[in-house]
């Protein structure tokens, strides 16, 4: 009886930063770590002892984030181990350069957290001619993961965590006939495509990792619910007044929004191919729990097809 009560209490307890195990000796690379979800993810891991690499596009903002993390550590500032790596996910050249620098510095990587992203941008293309949201959110992270994966594969307990969004359900499909939205642009649907791609990538990567007997790595996904971050800067003007009114109800802090990513990265009970999000109404806010993604994200033919196209577009092939 006592044992059952104890198990139920544990199952019902809300997962929080206090549940992050000791991270000493672990190396974590977090993309987009200078602000929002990425900043809070990086800070929480650093405070638990991980060596954290802030992989950021803007080094000035990255240095400011690094200083904030050190300052927030207070008396423990000397124990916080954080460094910077320049990374622009909208440029495959930058991705390759960053991966080369990381490979030369770190013979092992425990956590690769694919967090950076853009949302609802006006029509733009990356340096390589990809639609900005698809190129940054999916292809940039696909290439980075492929170029770093052999640094994770031998490491027991290593993980690739990719941040998706509730947007993967909103007007989301993979438009293979027009991946770059050259025949007409819809910023919401383009974002949905990129976030669906994040999940298709995660699940296909997990299939490949599970089939490789030498791989010690798992692939996991997470989403922050509705979080108050800089991603919302491209909200259409017509929506902004509604966001100002309902934002406090619908959106939680970036610190809370980072919890699903942190659980996916650090909870020892996490398994490959799982997806974590908030436990509140419509997964908009709350503490992290195991959630379900759309049926489209679990379409294995779609996963394989996107993988093949992503290899072709990036020129990156995975060692699994």
48: left (phi over 0), alpha (psi -120 to 50) or beta: alpha
Catalytic residue among 39, 106, 185, 191: 191
Give the distance from CA 59 to its chain's centroid. Answer: 20
Taking the C-alpha atoms of residue 49 and residue 47, their distance in angstroms, rounded to an integer, is 5
Instruction: Indicate if 39 belongs to the active site.
Output: no
DSSP label at residue 56: E
Closest by CA position to 300, among listed 219, 212, 204: 204
Phi then psi dihedrals of residue 112, to 5 deg: -115, 115
Please list the residues that pair with 84 across neighbouring strands.
54
Whole-angstrom distance, CA of residue 274 vs CA of residue 292: 8
- Asked if residues 204 and 306 have their Cβ atoms less than 8 Å apart, the reply is yes
Task: Find, among 130, 107, 118, 117, the residue nearest to 162 by Cα.
Answer: 117
Provide the annotated active-site residues.
191
């Amino acid at each position: 009886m006592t044992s059952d009560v104890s198990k139920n209490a544990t199952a019902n307890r809300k997962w929080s930063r206090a549940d992050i195990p000791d991270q000493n000796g672990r190396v974590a690379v977090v993309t987009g770590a200078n602000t929002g979800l990425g900043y809070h993810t990086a800070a929480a891991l650093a405070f638990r002892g991980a060596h954290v690499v802030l992989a950021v596009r803007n080094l000035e903002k990255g240095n400011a984030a690094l200083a904030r993390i050190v300052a927030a550590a207070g008396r423990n500032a000397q124990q916080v181990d954080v460094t910077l790596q320049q990374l622009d996910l909208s440029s495959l050249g930058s991705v390759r350069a960053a991966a080369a620098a990381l490979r030369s510095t770190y013979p092992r990587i425990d956590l690769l957290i694919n967090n950076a992203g853009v949302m609802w941008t006006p029509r733009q293309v990356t340096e390589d001619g990809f639609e900005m949201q698809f190129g940054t959110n999916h292809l940039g992270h696909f290439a980075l993961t492929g170029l770093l994966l052999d640094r994770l594969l031998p490491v027991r307990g290593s993980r690739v965590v990719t941040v998706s969004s509730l947007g993967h359900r909103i007007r989301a499909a993979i438009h293979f006939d027009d991946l770059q939205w050259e025949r007409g642009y819809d910023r919401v649907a383009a974002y949905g495509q990129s976030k669906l791609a994040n999940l298709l990538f995660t699940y296909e990567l997990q299939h490949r990792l599970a089939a490789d007997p030498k791989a010690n790595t798992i692939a996991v996904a997470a989403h922050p619910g509705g979080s108050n971050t800089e991603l919302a800067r491209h909200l259409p003007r017509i929506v902004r007044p509604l966001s100002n009114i309902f934002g406090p109800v619908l959106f939680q802090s970036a610190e809370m929004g980072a919890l699903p990513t942190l659980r996916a990265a650090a909870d020892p009970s996490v398994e490959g191919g799982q997806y974590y999000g908030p436990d509140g109404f419509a997964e908009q806010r709350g503490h992290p729990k195991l959630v379900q993604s759309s049926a489209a994200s679990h379409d294995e033919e779609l996963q394989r097809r996107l993988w093949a196209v992503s290899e072709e577009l990036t020129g990156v092939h995975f060692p699994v």
